[in-house]
Amino acid sequence: MGSGYRGRSWADARTFALDRARYRCECCGSRRRLTVHHRDGRGTDGPRGYDPGNLTVLCHDCHNREHGRVRPRRD
């Protein structure tokens, strides 16, 4: 049995969140480059890390915006 983001518990929680969001970003609706984000960043350790109420699905760009990391546009 693994721990952290390599363990079975995380894989199950991640799949649950993706299924619940129908494999779409819950912010913009994109289906590309999806990540599962912890709403409460302090809850990544322990049982809060796997709590479905603490997880949301975001695309890569929305996840970066959530963390204040804005990527420059490629034109």
User: For the residues 40-69, what does the mean pLDDT come to?
Assistant: 86
Better pLDDT: 38 or 44: 38
CA angle 43, 44, 48 (to 5 degrees): 50
- Are the CB atoms for 4 and 40 separated by under 8 Å? no
Q: Which residues pair with 37 in a beta bridge?
A: 56
Q: Are 59 and 28 in contact (CB under 8 A)?
A: yes
Q: Which two tokens stand for residue 1?
A: 């049995």
**For the structural domain made of 4-66, what CATH number should be given?**
3.40.1800
**Contact, 55 vs 13, CB < 8 A?**
yes
User: Tens digits of per-residue pLDDT, 16-30?
Assistant: 999 999 999 999 999
pLDDT at 53 over 70: yes
Q: Where are the domains of the chain?
A: 4-66
Higher pLDDT among residues 71 and 63, named by residue:
63
Please choose, from the candidates 32, 36, 22, the residue with its C-alpha nearest in 3D space to the C-alpha of residue 66.
36
What is the rounded average pLDDT for all residues in the chain?
86
For the cut 60, the answer to whether the pLDDT of residue 67 exceeds it is yes
